[in-house]
Structure 1
């Protein structure tokens, strides 16, 4: 029988307190071959007798490196030793060599595998350290509280697939120590050392500098900040959604024909009674529903300015051609007519 370590105890307690995984769940574990995902896989395998999970391993090969095929083979060999099902997704030439492009392909591939094979839960080895890095990455790019909340414990990828990150209270130092203690061979990804990637530069240079020069516990404190902001964002998003529905409640169709369903009327007199934070969030939610891609700061501000703008004011076109204008007490958001 496997001897439990403090990390086993921490994960077992986290899963119970947060309700992240349930007994008997069918769980697909994303394993890259690095220390975090291997640590997670071994921990879940050790806890499996107590939870009666049905576990499987998935690996995504981006084909970026000359050793990517041996890496995939190593994960498959390890999975066979664990006597678990193994699923491999290999990228074609369509995956761009960017962090965002690789992440988008990876989640698409993992989602497709999970749904095709009947695993409603996908787990990844994101850690406290990843949460701190993501907060810094988003802060540097420019973001609000939503970006700073940096990696949630769980979220729905599709109506039938839930993503869970069980290690958000575990540091990369802890996962490395666990793999060393259990003598788990880690497949080192050379691209993680390439500081042309922003996240790697944050990991290799910025966080060590902040740790040495400002605060030895900076990773922990950044992750705690992200956790506090997560609860704030959830509350504000709920309140903004209610405000938006209230502002739309008196709306009537004003355009006949093909544009009727896409045109929105928002009562700006209702919006102006709310705090600015809720005004922005409500109008951002509206734009998210209507535009082909997520609105940026400038686009949300253009909409918010209409709350106090003179009658007949209108914006320039948003992506996709939609235009917002003021008509009396109403903000009208409608598609561009052709």
Structure 2
């Protein structure tokens, strides 16, 4: 029922911190983003929200892309939602950056939504990812190789800067529940023809792997994956909190390009906690983390626990033991 969907969305908004202020909804015209706009329209007085929407025409499907754009214009006009539209040549962008179309489209959407939100004075960008998307994301992370953070999947709320955050208030709602609400509202939407093309990894997960797992192994596999994700998120949150405390106790001195750490603070501490303390340090120092993988973090933990004298890490960042201290310097 649509009423159930709206109640779930209200709970999701509270969990994602989507209360009060101006919010920009990423609108593709597909069922999920359309349901998000319709639901937020019913909740805007309750949550004291001012709604805006933004649509990016990727120019990947010719006339179909233009029809999506026009449909979004008419939809927002019907419900009196201000809409910002932009067109970008994703194929050229992907070729220039030497990345795949999926990644190019994701980056372009991300950049466009941030630009649109800042220009409009929004405090939040609301995305329509739902529970089935979350399960696909977690499964994708598992197949690529991941840790606790990857098992936790997408976050309900993520700060982009001090004034803007990304929220996903539908992460607790299943795709089938969205479809029920749209039918009850008699609300149409657009369907992206590329969503059925299985040469995209995400589509293969959705149309081939997950149905096979449901059929041959566990009919409730999506719920099982989501349960694993929730447990991973809770564990990861606890580890991060403990790691921050450990880092505070260990830090002796910090500057923009260097810091000193009391390595005795790591004695008898669990190795995974020491690894996470360094992750927190890198984040605090705003040092590059893109090239830091599990092996790199584990190597750092080994230095802190006395297994090696030092080493050099991406940045480059030099780490060396000096008596009872660790000295870290970014060149």
What TM-score do you get using the length of structure 1 for normalisation?
Answer: 0.88
Secondary structure class of the residue paired with 1:139: helix
5+ unaligned residues in a row in structure 2: which ranges? none
Counterpart-to-counterpart distance in 2, 1:225 and 1:190: 31
- Contact 1:291-1:318 at 8 Å conserved across structures: no
The structure where helix makes up a greater share of residues is 2
CA distance in 2, matches of 1:191, 1:206: 18
Deviation at 1:4, TM superposition (A): 5.3
> In 2, Cα distance between the equivalents of 1:323 and 1:210?
46
Q: Which residue of 1 aligns with 2:35?
A: 39
Higher relative contact order (CA 8 A, sep 6+): 2
Aligned match for 2:299, one of 289, 299, 302: 302
CA contact (8 A) 1:149 1:230 kept: yes
Asked if the contact 1:124–1:164 (Cα under 8 Å) also holds between the matched residues in 2, the reply is yes
Q: Helix, strand or coil: the match of 1:152?
A: coil
- The answer to whether residue 203 in structure 2 is matched with residue 182 in structure 1 is no
Cα RMSD after superposing both structures: 2.2
Partner of 2:269: 274
Provide closer, same or farther for how the CA distance between residues 309 and 47 of structure 1 changes in structure 2, counting only shifts above 3 A: closer
The CA distance in 2 between the partners of 1:319 and 1:63, in whole Å, is 37
For 1:307-318, list aligned pairs within 5 A: 307-309=304-306, 313-315=309-311, 317-318=312-313
CA distance in 2, matches of 1:10, 1:314: 51
Structure 1 residue 243 corresponds to structure 2 residue 246: yes
Kindly state the Cα deviation for residue 19 of structure 1 after the two structures are TM-superposed: 6.6
1:285 paired residue number: 280
Deviation for aligned residue 1:279: 0.5
1:220 and 1:302 map into 2 onto residues whose CA distance is: 36
Cα shift at 1:101: 3.2
1:130 pairs with one of 126, 129, 133:
133
Q: Distance in 1 between matches of 2:316 and 2:7?
A: 54
Cα distance in 2 between the residues matched to 1:94 and 1:174: 36
- Number of residues of Structure 1 aligned to a counterpart in Structure 2: 322
Q: Which residue of 2 aligns with 1:139?
A: 142
What's the CA shift string for 1:221-262, capped at 9, x where partnerless? 22232222222212211211121121113x4x8xxxxxx641
Could you list the per-position Cα deviations for residues 153-194 of structure 1 after superposition, in whole angstroms to 9, with x for gaps in the alignment? Answer: 112122111222111111112212322332322211122222
2:25 is matched with 29
Between the aligned partners of 1:237 and 1:105, the Cα distance in structure 2 is 31
Aligned residue in 2 for 1:6: 4
The one of 145, 152, 163 equivalent to 2:166 is: 163
Give runs of aligned pairs for residues 90-109 of structure 1, distance below 5 A. 90-92=87-89, 93-95=92-94, 96-109=99-112
The answer to whether the Cα contact below 8 Å between 1:272 and 1:279 also exists between their aligned partners in 2 is no
CA contact (8 A) 2:16 2:167 kept: no
The change in CA–CA distance for 1:329 and 1:113 in structure 2 (over 3 A counts) is same
1:323 paired to 2:296: no
Measure how far apart 1:112 and its partner are: 1.1
Cα distance, 1:31 vs. partner? 1.0
Q: In 1, distance between residues paired with 2:261 and 2:249? A: 9
In the alignment, the residues of structure 1 paired with residue 137 and residue 203 of structure 2 have an alpha-carbon distance, to the nearest angstrom, of 11
Give unmatched runs, 5+ long, in structure 1.
Answer: 254-259
> Structure 2: how far apart are the matches of 1:159 and 1:13?
24
Match of 1:63 among 52, 59, 64: 59
Task: Please report the TM-score for the alignment, with normalisation by the length of structure 2.
Answer: 0.89
Q: Conserved in 2, the CA contact under 8 Å of 1:262 and 1:290?
A: no
